[in-house]
Structure 1
Amino acid sequence: MIQLHDVDLKLLRVFATIVKCGGFSAAQAALNAGQSTISEQMNHLETRLGVKLCQRGRSGFRLTEQGVAIHEATQRLLSAVETFCMDADVLKQRISGKLNLGIIDSTITDRDSPLPRATQRFVSRGHDVHLSVYVGTPAELEERVLDNRLHLAIGHFPVRIPGIHYSPLYHEALGLYCGHHHPLFETELEGAELGKAIGASRIVVRGYMQQYDLDVLGVSKAAATVDNIEALAILIISGAYLGLLPMHVAQQWVRTDEMRRLPITNSQLESPFDVITRRGAMPPILHAFLEDLTQCSGSTGKA
């Protein structure tokens, strides 16, 4: 059995950084080291572990099969070390360490989001905390919360996964939009006639909210599917598709007449945001941030 020492942890962190950056050259700035030093460290790590971790050369950088397995184990190990450090801080009665937060894309313009206010409140308390923010799809966020790469994440999560705690946070207002070149951009249709025209149009939906989008619009299938809001906006602006878009995101294109919100009457045009955490013991750093997040959202609901 391999015995790990401090130097091994350092080398594993170097390895994790190389993989994250996509190669030796790309990792030089992040590691503040030259390529020869990084290569020497990797050779040392491979010798210590007794396996070849990666292929590097003119063909580019790629992990070997053993390298993939070691990288996954490294992620788990470094996460466990980080969790231990945070738990140890309880004995010192202070909050410090690293807080890994995940969010979905295109929330920066949403004034209803409590995240900016909660972050300001949390940081102003003087905690010795390094905040790391990851932007991803709902599925990616759930996966990263489950394997401890993220302490919490905020987004749309219509399907509940075992092992994750879901708590309602706030709602995002939606509208149905078309681009300037879409046939309905100049329409005066309303009610049933507009609904019929929508049903005859190409619809783009959010993959993670597909059934919700279809049900709201009263259509049975989508002509396009996306996993982020930027892609959704691109297809709507093209004039080829109709789609539900957060109103705070669409406003910039409505002002320039590149988009128009269609007058459909539906009081349920909103997407719920949840905050998710892994079930189990909660480190103090996470507990403190969630308290500030709850205070800034005014939400106390649990799921």
Structure 2
Amino acid sequence: MLNRLQESDIKLLRVFYAVASCNGFTAAEPVLRMQRPNISAAIKKLEERLDLVLCHRGRGGFQMTKEGEVVFQETKRIFNSFDNFVFNLKSLHDDYSGHVTLVMMAGLPLSYHLAVSKSVKSTMKKFNDIHVNIQTRLYNEVEHVALSGECHLVLSTYDMVKPESVTFHPVDVSCKGRLYCAPSHVLAKYRDGFPNNVKIGDYPAIGISGLSSANYIADDTRMAIQTFSDSYDACLAAIMTGEYVGLLPDYILTNQGAGLGLVPVGKSLFEFSHELFVMNGKNTRLNPVLRHLIKEISYFIQQVDQ
């Protein structure tokens, strides 16, 4: 069992990270510039060091074990932190080259992803030898990744009390939403509000992990949260069972939910508006590359919402 990381372990982890990212030994060969037998030997040695089976390989193809999935996610965190360390160190010498890691909240609309693409292209054109890793995280993880050093910047909505350890750069765009149900739900006929004899608390609702509980209260009316999902996409799937009502941003209706017949109910009773931010931990040094990227993200997303 591994008690302390050695330099040789890091090399083995890089091999495993490439194999897991490429979903197979053969696909990882050009990335690692190694032949398959050498890759296989490295994975076997790593498994011996960790005393874990990380993946199955054979006629059934490549498949990670549950333990392998955990090691992969932890390895990703380690290498993101390494890349960020090197990038920040170079910045101290006015060398603005290297890898920038940008995390986007899962479930943001495609138009925002395309705006980020334009922002990244602009930044890479302005600064030589810059590479941008774009990743996604669940809503309840965005604060942690901003603080942990796993990334440089996070693009996300945020409706909680803002911690002093995170810097928030407003994008001047808000994601509006409301209460939705499936067309088969008994409340689907109440688009314009609920009559006095209908109590929303009598109907099971689904919540989003990490979302402020204040979102589920309107005046003296409280939703009956019976279960939770970890993203808006998962919440949409639960709502479409016809068993739950739930809060969704309106862009879900025109993106992921297009054609599903989602019904906004209760009119303005549970409307919400969550501001969009670019976030970074206070320990992240905002050099000219990151400042330019923040400015470009704000500009291109505002263009989408005009």
TM over 0.5: yes
Q: Distance in 2 between matches of 1:252 and 1:42?
A: 41
Secondary structure at 1:204 match in 2: strand
The answer for the alignment partner of 1:100 in structure 2 is 101
- Structure 1 residue 232: Cα displacement: 1.3
State how far apart, in whole Å, the 1-side matches of 2:290 and 2:187 are: 47
1:245 Cα deviation (Å)?
Answer: 1.2
What is the Cα deviation at residue 45 of structure 1?
A: 7.0
Give the aligned CA root-mean-square deviation in angstroms: 4.2
Q: Which amino acid aligns with 2:148?
A: D
- Residues 79-111 of structure 1: CA distance to partner in whole angstroms, max 9, x if unpaired? 3355224532564x5632111111122212456
| 1:130 aligned residue | 131
3-state DSSP class of the match of 2:195? helix
Partners of 1:204 and 1:225 within 8 A in 2: yes
Q: 2:297 aligns with which of 277, 285, 293?
A: 293
Q: 1:25 to 1:146 in 2, by over 3 A?
A: farther
State the AA in 2 paired with 1:293: I
> 2:83 & 2:222 partners in 1: Cα distance?
49
Q: How does 1:126-205 map to 2 (within 5 A)?
A: 127-157=128-158, 158-161=160-163, 163-169=165-171, 170-187=173-190, 190-191=192-193, 193=195, 196-205=198-207
Cα offset, 1:235, TM superposition: 1.9
- Which residue identity lines up with residue 79 of structure 1 in the other structure? S
Shift of 1:247: 0.9
What are structure 2's unaligned runs of at least 5 residues? 58-62
Unaligned runs of 5+ in 1: 299-303
Identity of aligned residues (%): 18
- Once residues 271 and 103 of structure 1 are traced to their aligned partners in structure 2, the CA distance between those partners, rounded to angstroms, is 15
Check the 8 A contact 2:81/2:151 in 1, yes or no: no
For 1:275 and 1:121, locate their aligned partners in 2 and report how far apart those are by CA, in whole Å: 17
Relative to structure 1, the CA distance from residue 180 to residue 195 in structure 2 (aligned partners, 3 Å threshold; closer, same or farther) is same
Checking the alignment, whether the CA contact within 8 Å between 1:178 and 1:185 is kept in structure 2 is yes
Q: In structure 2, what is the equivalent of residue 230 of structure 1?
A: 233
Structure 1 residues 57, 13: closer, same or farther in 2, change over 3 A?
closer
Q: Is the 8 A contact 2:140 2:209 kept in 1?
A: no
Structure 2: distance between partners of 1:32 and 1:112: 31
**1:55 and 2:53 equivalent?**
yes
User: Counterpart of 1:83 in structure 2: which amino acid?
Assistant: F
Note if 1:213 corresponds to 2:211: no
The answer to whether the 8 A contact 2:80-2:151 is kept is no
151-160 or 10-19, which moves further after superposition?
A: 10-19
SS for the counterpart of 2:210 is helix
Shift of 1:29: 6.6
Contact conserved, 2:100 with 2:132, CA < 8 A, in 1? yes
Q: Relative to structure 2, which stretch is displaced further, 274-283 or 53-62?
A: 53-62
- How many residues matched? 289
Q: In the superposition, relative to structure 1, how do residues 254 and 84 fare at CA in structure 2: closer, same or farther (>3 Å)? A: closer
**How do 1:272-291 residues align onto structure 2 when only pairs under 5 Å count?**
272-282=275-285, 284=287, 285-291=289-295
CA gap 1:283/1:265 in 2 versus in 1, 3 angstroms: closer
2:84 and 2:152 in contact (8 A); partners too? no
- 1:255-302 Cα shifts (integer Å, max 9, x gaps): 64622222522595212223221212415332331232344567xxxx
1:223 alignment partner, SS class: strand
Alignment of 1:114-125 (within 5 A): 115=116, 118-125=119-126
The answer as to 2:79 corresponding to 1:80 is no
